[in-house]
A and B are shown apart, each in its own frame.
Chain A
Amino acid sequence: MSGANHDPELLRRAAQAALDLSECDWYRYLLRKNVSGRSLSDAEERAVIDGATRTAAALARQVTATYGRLSPPELAAALGLKVAERPAGESPEPYLYLALYEPAARAIILNEDVMLRVRRFIEVNGLTDLTHPEDIPAVALFHEIFHALEEETPDIYTRSRMLNRKALGLFPYRRGLDGASEVGAVHFSREMAGLAYCPCIFERYLLLALGQLSIDLFVPNV
């Protein structure tokens, strides 16, 4: 359950190295995690990261100006979003997730079971001074609030067709990128929660806890 079978010193060094990774590197990791994001050139990658982080920062400023400094559940309530916790037990979804946003129901679902795993991993392995377990639900909520705001903001950059492509090398067309939306959500959650580190580290903890990642690959190679 806790995935605590790691050399504590090695794990701590890996966590520290991950925390030292630049914001831009984490966002590059997010883009590359998305299968359709792998075809970006370096310049496109930089442009998408820049566009997504600017959008997220602007949205964070706008939300704070409108609603003041609210806690994530208060902000969700102010925006008329439902928040539900998926009870512990086997996930009905075929993939691992910390939280998700259902636009049809305007509902954010927090995956309690998965968040608990990450929390326990941090606690059991004595990493609470580096990464704080209480940040997990806050960050997850802010992450999904960003997606809810995106849904209701026409022409937002993270949902736009920002890439120029050519079909069969001849016919120009524009396409978007799901990864841009994820970069925006992570950046927004970080700004809103006032986090000093990138919350993507929670994903890496989870994979480590589940034995789906070896410790030498803990720091994403970007």
Chain B
Amino acid sequence: MITGLLLLVTFIGLIIYCMKGGNLLVGFIAASIVWCIIGRVPMSTVVTDIFQTSVENYGKTIAIIVFGAWFGRVLVDTGIAGYIIKKTVELAGDMPLVTTLMLSIVCALIFTSAFGVGSVMAIGMIVLPILFSLGIDKKTALGAYLLAVAAGMYLNIAYVNQFFAVFPNVKYDDHYIRFAIIATIVHVAVMCAFIVFNYFRSKKGGKARAWAVGAAAEQKDAKSLGWYCVIVPFIPIIMVSFFKWQPIPSFLLGIFLGLLLTRNFASYSLAVEKIQKTLYDGIADSGLLIGMLYSVNIFQAAAKQVSPILQNLLGGIIPTAPVIILIAFCVLAPLALFRGPLMIWGSGIALVSIFQAMGVFSEMFLFALFLVPPVAIVASACPTQSWTMWGLSYAKLEPKQYIKTNLPWAWAILIIVEILAFVMIGNV
């Protein structure tokens, strides 16, 4: 009983630490050590199962994340992402609302494949100034862009693979893809409603006109690329979905075609330089995420060791009906903010571990339950998301204002997608 209570106190401490913005890598490793001490886990288990096996077993997922981030860098550095965005703007012309809607949908599509904070920043540096120059107010512009980035995540192979560390038997298969497509459509539909609502609300008095001074980078003409380059962002997802390729060869084909179609294979030295630079930047983009995911795995392995104690303590308290848990998640969705207990990549990892330890919920149910808050709430409305921190500073927007603008919409997305996830993939 005392041991169980001590574990619970540590869990609450971890929640507070995460919500206060503590470093997740440090927090998870420290919590793992504390749980091992409280649970009196044998040293041999600590140094083998918890700190070694858990990390080495994660190699496959890390490889996918690295290749995903590399592919994202190729899309940005070859100018493909910029080309698609600028073509979209030219097509939409001088209609700010249409341009914002089209740009946001295009970004959502790009992020179904592109991955990594570097890609989000680099594409944001193209998209946001365009939206600002169209007179879109900063909270709508940034809110729309971040909702668009999040919309791509349900289908994003590299992103979804992160969950396989916690739910090892889940597969990115046709069954999942069907759900992910519908979730993406729902997310995009709510994003469009967000844009239309905020656009008309801010445009009551007419469009503000500024004698704006564009940065030099904005004035350089986009490298002339062929129209066929627009297919490149979708190569990995097409190969995985339709041709049943594995993720890494799919990303490699995307990288190869991305470089080839943008004439980066014109000479051997140019090809080597571009390959090395995009790979280096992609790994740098995903480095901290990988570190955090390693610590999540360590914490999960520690949680597994103390799970019988937690099961004894909480088994009779936590409801065991999946529908009740689902309703609780929909009602308490803002608890995912600031890495709270509904955010798996935060203090929520301890909650997952407790649910798993209870042994009453299926893996698919828990996967469906915990997949949605990081996308619908955290990536869409939480300032602790790495790229959101960048976006807030770039747009000079207060975190409070961002949460206020985006959270109601993010919450709506969560409720719809959680129910969809439960019905389509979690209710098995």
Contact = CB atoms under 8 A, between A and B. Distances in A.
A140 B92 CA distance: 29
Nearest to A29: B219
Interface in A174-222: 175-178, 181-182, 185, 203, 206-207, 212-214, 217, 220
Contact of B396 (A92, A97, A165): A92
Contacts of B133: 34-35, 95, 178
Interface stretch (B104-112, B205-213, B241-249): B205-213
Interface in B168-206: 204-206
A151 B86 CA distance: 27
A39 B86 CA distance: 10
A33 B90 contact: no
B128 interface: yes
Interface residues of A, number: 47
Nearest to A167: B91
B213 A38 contact: no
Given A36-B90, A95-B212, A212-B216, A104 B396 contact: no
A97 B212 contact: yes
Given A33-B218, A207-B215, A213-B216, A91 B209 contact: no
Contacts of A175: 93-95
A104 B209 contact: no
B211 A185 contact: yes
B210 to A, nearest CB: 4
A119 interface: no
Contacts of A52: none
B396 A93 contact: yes
A104 B204 CA distance: 7
Contact of B211 (A35, A38, A99, A177): A99
Interface string B6-44: 000000000000000000000000000000000000000
Shortest 4 CB-CB contacts between residues of A and residues of B: A104-B205, A103-B206, A175-B93, A100-B210
29 contacts: A34-B133, A35-B218, A38-B90, A39-B90, A93-B210, A94-B395, A94-B396, A94-B397, A95-B132, A95-B210, A96-B213, A96-B214, A97-B211, A98-B211, A98-B213, A99-B211, A102-B205, A104-B204, A104-B206, A144-B209, A151-B206, A175-B94, A176-B94, A177-B94, A178-B94, A178-B133, A185-B211, A203-B214, A207-B215
